[in-house]
Amino acid sequence: MIVENGKIIHIGTNLPEYDEKIDLNGKLVMARYVDPHLHLDYVYTLSELEQDGAVSGILFEAIELWPKFKKTLTVESVKRLALKGIKDEVSQGVQHIRTHIDVTDPKFTALKAMLEMKEELKDTVDIQIVAFPQEGMYMYKGGRDLVEEALKMGADVVGGIPHYEPAREFGEKSVHDIVELALKYDKLIDVHCDETDDPHSRFLELLNAHVFMEDYGSRTTASHTCSFGSADDSYAFRMMDIFKKSKIHFISCPTENAYLQGRQDTYPKRRGLTRVKEFIASGINVAFAKDSINDPWYPMGNGNMMNILDNGIHLAQIMSPEEIKTNFDLITYNDARCLNIYDIYGLEIGKQANFIVLNEALCL
Ligand SMILES: [Zn+2]
């Protein structure tokens, strides 16, 4: 490979001699990892909550404490913990992070911190910021307007959480708002969508219909969509037909949702994942993400995307010889499509010369 002025200009054998030469001794060169869904304002907050003696490690206790804990955050405290999370990821090959930042906070403490970090760290990692109303656009008074303000302040992506709104009608209203705001401010969309086992949670259907009609699917991502894993087949296959037409992207967080979902099931117990295998087979773009590192929603985690891939291919049952050939795409190329960075991303001539080198050779 020949690199010049930060770009790949040649790939192949019998390359001409160049001033500087680096011999990687047969190691594997890969496109850089992308984590397309991470909550950087939450990372390592579980440890902080535990230090306060407030949490016994019980999930719902921590979730109820979050709004209270949020009030104690400062720009400095958010940056201190977020930097730990970013270091975890970057040190393990991640060079692009899309982070959902909670904007249901009239002071925008976390957003201000993240806007600063995005600029300060731009030579190390690309950060995309989602204006995410964790407590809802309507469940939280004024939540919708806070999302709009966050977009004006510089957030890159419109977020939402329709299944958390107080009634279906308000969840639908929030989906209309999300698309409207994205069109108004020319932003990408990434919605926490149907992160529940309830097969009647069908906000994905409405989101997809909207972006299909607006021709905005390739700029839209539906994250989690766990309920689609519980949906009836006749509904699911009809929907997949329209997902294909709209070109909407999907992000699945395998470790997080395997941990969080199926909690009310005794047995059989659901896996919590959306239909990753079927999306791949249908040519619908789907990517894997981390979601959490040691926060009230998920106590474990580090920045290792290979761990996410390993868990994901087990949970989604995608290990046939054909499927293995594209498994790495689930933490690289497919994620780059969700982030709409495909024009600069990848091991191809003309693309940015950013890549990672793994010690092992790839044997297929
Ligand atoms: Zn999330």
pLDDT of residue 64: 73
What single-letter amino acid sits at 21?
A: K
Residue 259 maps to a domain: yes
Distance (Å) from CA 290 to ligand 1 centroid: 9
Q: For residue range 34-69, what is the model confidence (pLDDT) as tens digits?
A: 999 999 999 999 888 777 665 555 556 666 778 888
Residue 10 maps to a domain: no
pLDDT of residue 56: 54
Report which of residues 51 and 147 the model is more confident about.
147
Distance (Å) from CA 192 to ligand 1 centroid: 6
Nearest partner of 120 among 79, 73, 78, 89, judged by Cα? 79
Residue 350 maps to a domain: no
**What confidence tier does 107 reach under pLDDT thresholds 50, 70, 90?**
very high
CATH of the domain at 229: 3.20.20.140
Catalytic residue positions, numbered = 195
Residue 153 maps to a domain: yes
Residue 237, token pair as written in the block: 């296959």
pLDDT of residue 360: 76
Q: Is residue 159 a contact partner of residue 148, using CB atoms and an 8 Å limit?
A: no
Q: Characterize 103-139 residue by residue with b for buried, 16 or more Cβ atoms within 10 angstroms of its Cβ, and e for exposed.
A: bbbeebbbbbbbbebbeebeeebbbbbbbbbbbbbbb
Q: Is residue 45 a contact partner of residue 134, using CB atoms and an 8 Å limit?
A: no
**What number is the average pLDDT over the span 191-201?**
95
Distance (Å) from CA 36 to ligand 1 centroid: 10
Report which of residues 17 and 50 the model is more confident about.
17
Q: For residue range 309-320, what is the model confidence (pLDDT) as tens digits?
A: 999 999 999 999
Pairing of strands 355-358, 28-31: antiparallel
Distance (Å) from CA 201 to ligand 1 centroid: 17
Q: Characterize 254-274 residue by residue with b for buried, 16 or more Cβ atoms within 10 angstroms of its Cβ, and e for exposed.
A: bbbbbbbbbeeeeeeebbbbb
Tell me the residue range of the domain where 105 lies: 33-344
| Cβ atoms within 10 Å, residue 323 | 15
pLDDT of residue 69: 86
Residue 48 maps to a domain: yes
Q: Is the pLDDT of residue 253 over 60?
A: yes
pLDDT of residue 55: 59
Residue 5 maps to a domain: no
Residue 360 maps to a domain: no
What single-letter amino acid sits at 254?
A: P
**What confidence tier does 294 reach under pLDDT thresholds 50, 70, 90?**
very high
Distance (Å) from CA 364 to ligand 1 centroid: 33
Distance of alpha carbon 163 from alpha carbon 300, whole angstroms? 25
Q: What angle do CA 104, 107, 111 make, to 5 degrees?
A: 70
Give the chain's domain count. Answer: 1
pLDDT of residue 59: 56
Q: For residue range 225-246, what is the model confidence (pLDDT) as tens digits?
A: 999 999 999 999 999 999 999 9
Residue 351 maps to a domain: no
**What confidence tier does 349 reach under pLDDT thresholds 50, 70, 90?**
very high
Mean of the per-residue pLDDT values of the chain: 94
- Would you say the C-alpha torsion 243, 249, 253, 257 has a positive or negative sign? negative
Pairing of strands 188-193, 220-224: parallel
Supply the pTM of this predicted model: 0.95
Give, for 117, the enclosing helix (H) or strand (E).
helix 109-120
Q: Is the pLDDT of residue 295 over 60?
A: yes
